[in-house]
Amino acid sequence: MLPAYTDVLIVGAGPTGLTLAAGLQQAGVDHLLIDALEAGQNTSRAGVIHSHTLEMLEAIGVVEPLVARGITVSRFTVRDRDRPLLGIGFQKLPAAFRNILMVPQTTTEAVLHARLTELGGEVHRGVVALGADSDAGGASVRVRIGGVEQTIRARHVVGGDGMHSVIRAAADIPFQGEAYGESFVLADVRMDWPLGSSEVSLFFAPEGLVVVAPLPDGSYRVVATLEDAPEQPTLDDVQRLLDTRGPVAAPARVTDFIWSSRFRVHHRLADTYRKGPFLLMGDAAHVHSPAGGQGMNTGLVDAIVLGEALTRVVRDGEPSSVLDAYSDRRRPAAEAVLALASRLTRVATVRGRPARLLRNTLLRLLNHVRPFKRRLTLGLSGIDRRPLARLPEPAPVR
């Protein structure tokens, strides 16, 4: 049995749930973190952590272990086969971390979990949230643990339970948007790769885009769009994608296959991140194309900001309007990310030869336009969304 009451019930121990729980544990806020799965997921998924996310994660003390277990990459280059079109460097970012950190999501989750445990917190696994009802004092959440049902009362209930969030449904918060037509192939492979491990490369090709990014163990993450991707892409599928879209002069040779997946991308945003006792963060609140590697990053920043907001309300007795401020800041941040990811996806998947030639010419010109490159760098790194990660100062005590 779990406790019958908690101040904050967090549903979902993905990267956002773990981050929020670590923040609350560190601040001494009573909470309960539950997850339906008996063990954490072991698939790689998000592979990038950006500069702004790292500066936010500083608050819970996980930056050092993340950087130690990741690989830093200094350049992002857009290419058309052998021809570079646009190069972005992060060295001049007005931030402490001036690179992209490549680290598989499994490692990120392991680091967050280790930190939560070190702080004395825990994840209650095998606990499924079935539904919830709100009332004046908070919410009652029905959960199932090993075939037994129980109700947990909470003052605040956080949905960190991913795209198909039960908490978002219980709060009746619309999640508007649509699915992209194409599906994405994702694979981690070992290969002879002519561009080495200091660059994330985005290739445009008539057949669609392909992204190649180095991972810490010497492997590479390959992400590509496909009209109709195979359910379980194979080594040959990945080799074919690189042959038809990647470099020609010095082609890639895939030697070993680690993991692959296919997924359909949705583009959706919750109407609000707060409704009464219910709060949303991460994929429960926003989902979009993986172009630009922003999904998990936006969720991690949500979790840090929400941790601060809940601490101020629950521990420090500030009014619950601080939680509205969380929603008012973080929803526009996701809007900006959705717009960036959708622009990148549209540009990358332009159809028709004349349109592609025009796009390539334009990108080569923009490669010399400093303000454009600076804006793109600030957008990709998340640094331009710093103001949307700051809550208003507490009102002065009279």
Q: Which residues are at the interface with ligand FAD (CB under 6 A)?
A: 11-17, 34-37, 45-47, 105, 128-129, 160-162, 166, 186, 261, 263, 282-283, 290, 293-297, 299
**Running DSSP on this structure, what letter comes out for residue 161?**
S
CA torsion, points 299, 303, 304, 309, in degrees to nearest 10? Answer: 130
Report, in Å, the least distance between residue 357 CB and ligand FAD. 29
Minimum CB distance to ligand FAD smaller for 16 or for 345 = 16
Q: Does residue 218 contact residue 102 with C-beta atoms inside 8 Å? A: no
Rounded to whole angstroms, the Cα distance separating 66 from 69 reads 5
Report the first-to-last Cα separation within the chain, whole angstroms: 44
d(CA 278, CA 156) in angstroms, rounded, equals 6
Check residue 70 and report its DSSP letter: S
Least distance in Å: CB of 397 to ligand FAD? 35
Shorter beta-carbon distance to ligand FAD: residue 141 or 360: 141
Return the number of the residue (323 or 341) whose C-beta is nearest ligand FAD: 341
State in angstroms the smallest separation of the CB of 147 from ligand FAD.
15
Rank residues 53 and 360 by Cβ distance to ligand FAD and give the closer one. 53
DSSP state, residue 391: P
d(CA 153, CA 3): 9
Q: How far is Cα 145 from Cα 160, in angstroms, rounded to an integer?
A: 18
Taking the complex as a whole, how short is the minimal distance between the CB of residue 370 and ligand FAD, in angstroms? 27
Contacts (Cβ under 8 Å, ≥6 apart) of 195: 201, 212, 247
Q: What are phi and psi of 96, to 5 degrees?
A: -70, -40
Q: Write down the least CB distance from residue 371 to ligand FAD, Å.
A: 26
Nearer to ligand FAD, 297 or 349 (CB): 297
Of 360 and 385, which has the nearer Cβ to ligand FAD? 385
For residues 340 and 356, give the distance between their C-alpha atoms in angstroms, rounded to a whole number. Answer: 19
Q: How far is the CB of 307 from ligand FAD (least distance, A)?
A: 13
CB of 220 to ligand FAD, least distance (A): 13
CA atoms 311, 285, 210, 234: torsion sign: positive
Q: Which C-beta is closer to ligand FAD: that of 253 or that of 264? A: 264
